[in-house]
Amino acid sequence: METSTILHNFILDELVKGRKKTIGDDDDLLAEGIIDSLGILQLVAFIEEKFNFTVPDEDVVIENFMSVNALSKYLDQKLATKH
């Protein structure tokens, strides 16, 4: 599965939990309250487990976590340098 699909599914199933039916890849996840501060921690934990690498605190910033697109771009970059 593509990174963005994995993220998309996790956010929709585990974090949004029916409050919204769809989310766009460019939707602002944070400003729109789609994810709250606990959701961020869950998302970080999910990424760390699923992709098997540690997200440093200084990477948990708005540029990387603002949308599904931003996050998959960040992850793809990180994973590319790891392999």
Nearer to other proteins, 1 or 27 (CB): 27
Compute how many other C-beta atoms are within 10 angstroms of the C-beta atom of residue 69. 14
Q: Which residues bind other proteins (CB under 8 A)?
A: 28, 30-33, 35-42, 45, 57-62, 65-66
Integer-rounded Cα radius of gyration of the chain: 12
Least distance from other proteins to the Cβ atom of residue 50, Å:
15
- State the DSSP H helix or E strand holding residue 83, giving kind and residue range, or none if neither: none
Three-state DSSP class for residue 35? coil
Least distance from other proteins to the Cβ atom of residue 83, Å:
26
Nearer to other proteins, 2 or 57 (CB): 57
